[in-house]
Amino acid sequence: MGNAKSLSSQKMGSKFLPEEQAEVDRLFDVLSFNKGGSAAGTFSLEALKSHVKEALPPVMVTRLYKGMWRVKAIHKAQGGKRNVSREQFTVFLSHLLKGSFEEKGRMVMKMIVTAEGPVTARDVQKFTEELVTSVVHVLTHRHELRGWTGRKSTVSPNSVQAMAAQLLSEMKFQDGHKFRGPQCLDQVCDQAVIEDWVFHVPHVGLFLSVVIHRGLRLLNSSVDLSPLVPERHVDKGQPFESILDVLPVIYLNSHLATDQQHRWRLLFSTQLHGQSFSQLCSRITHQGPCLVVLEDRDGYVFGGFASRSWEVKPQFQGDNKCFLFSITPSMATYTYTGYNDHFMYLNHGQQTMPNGLGMGGQHHYFGLWVAADFGKGHSKAKPTCTTYNSPQLSAQEDFQFDKMEVWGLGDVLETCLVKNKKSILDSDPAAQSLLEISGRTRHSEGLREVPEEDD
């Protein structure tokens, strides 16, 4: 053991800083003297499982161990042939956590490779599903779901498969074609394919870092979970079960700006606030960027990201940062095409213009539409929405729904707080006209100033 420990981090190919390497060495010492380990400067699979305990699924612990064991060590280690040496342990972890995408790809391949023959997309799919499951498992075990608890904290197999399929969709085979479902499962994936996949799908490396940092309790301080899982905020601690489980939350959060990722604030939910379009309008206007999420009666989950505050007015609003998305049956996002600027629309109480909430497309033909006659909507695309290039998001073109949520993103901006103090009469001239026709006066007229609109 003394000879192994005396090896410099440079000779072992370590990319860790000295203080990080010291922590890695301490963990190796624990493992090499753990029950089932070896006193000869190596450790066994049983020792790693004993250390991890229930923090990770056994299948992922085995993959990590095999990845370490397959690292070719420069210095021959003593002990059992199936044991992992200090050098293998250090190289595997440092390349996986801090290496280039080529180095990370090589470590990922070592975790995937089987003895039966060449690696296929089916093998990569199995690894990816196990990785996704392990991330949720370890965050649940370490109580780091940041409020996304309850029945939905145990993700469904469908959610795991949808997330894995989304990660695999960016994998490109030797012939240049991307992964497109079950028909691709027998395609061979060589080292170059895996390296390219790791490069184009950062979540693979991010998920593995969470598994290692939280599962092995190694270098915990180097991982900030807030960009991955936002803090869930529901007023007054009301018991609330979201349409979304933690995997769709992770997926959607990855498409948001940095200042929007750390906290999601529940603005509206049919579960808490009822099926009321007027309640929806009053609760989501002037609240900054937000996510609208619906579940139709066929179980499809979908929605849209509004990049700016909603305002009740008969014109389109928003900008090209808006997008539509699907969660169930598949995870996907659909972004601005440049065809038109029909990003967001919210109108209520007018006879000459459509009343409802819409995103993309055009009047009466929205990519996503929630009618003011609450509980009804449509998602039209022949073949796709002009604004976002999205397909039909709902199971039926004209759908019905009982569940809808709107989440404010990040912190409430001061400008939003000021605008929320405005009277509805300031933002809705029609309401002011109706008041005057009825012979009633605005008692606040002249007693307060209308806050100035931002440019």
Per-residue confidence (pLDDT) for residue 38, from 0 to 100: 47
Task: Return the closest-CA partner of residue 360 out of 383, 333, 389.
Answer: 389
447 pLDDT above the threshold of 60: no
Task: Return the closest-CA partner of residue 405 out of 321, 279, 318.
Answer: 279
4 pLDDT above the threshold of 50: no
Q: What is the mean pLDDT of residues 70-77?
A: 77
Per-residue confidence (pLDDT) for residue 2, from 0 to 100: 43
Worst-scoring range by mean pLDDT, 63-77, 269-283, 363-377, 388-402? 63-77
* Residue that wins the pLDDT comparison between 180 and 379: 379
Per-residue confidence (pLDDT) for residue 367, from 0 to 100: 98
Model pTM score: 0.86
Per-residue confidence (pLDDT) for residue 415, from 0 to 100: 55
Task: Return the closest-CA partner of residue 85 out of 50, 38, 151, 49.
Answer: 38
What region, left, alpha or beta, does residue 398 occupy, with left being phi > 0 and alpha being psi -120 to 50 degrees? beta
Q: What is the mean pLDDT of residues 292-315?
A: 97
Report CA torsion sign: 331, 195, 48, 90.
negative
427 pLDDT above the threshold of 70: no
Quick: pLDDT tens for 155-211: 788 899 999 999 999 999 988 899 988 999 999 999 999 999 999 999 999 999 999
Using alpha carbons, list the distances in angstroms from residue 111 to 19, 69, 170, 215, 258: 27, 10, 19, 16, 31
Worst-scoring range by mean pLDDT, 35-39, 135-139, 175-179, 314-318? 35-39
Q: What is the mean pLDDT of residues 58-68?
A: 97
Task: Return the closest-CA partner of residue 291 out of 357, 222, 237, 195.
Answer: 357
432 pLDDT above the threshold of 70: no
Block residue for tokens 């009740």: 312
Q: Respond yes or no on whether the N-terminal peptide bond of residue 329 is cis (omega within 30° of 0).
A: yes
444 pLDDT above the threshold of 50: no
pLDDT, averaged across the chain: 87
Q: Does domain 2-222 have CATH number 1.10.238.10?
A: yes
Per-residue confidence (pLDDT) for residue 74, from 0 to 100: 77
User: Where does the pLDDT of residue 96 fall: very low under 50, low under 70, confident under 90, or very high at 90 and above?
Assistant: very high
Residues of the chain with CATH 1.10.238.10: 2-222
If you ran DSSP here, which 8-state letter would residue 348 be given? -
Quick: pLDDT tens for 325-359: 999 999 999 999 999 999 999 999 888 899 999 99
Per-residue confidence (pLDDT) for residue 389, from 0 to 100: 97
31 pLDDT above the threshold of 90: yes
If you ran DSSP here, which 8-state letter would residue 34 be given? S
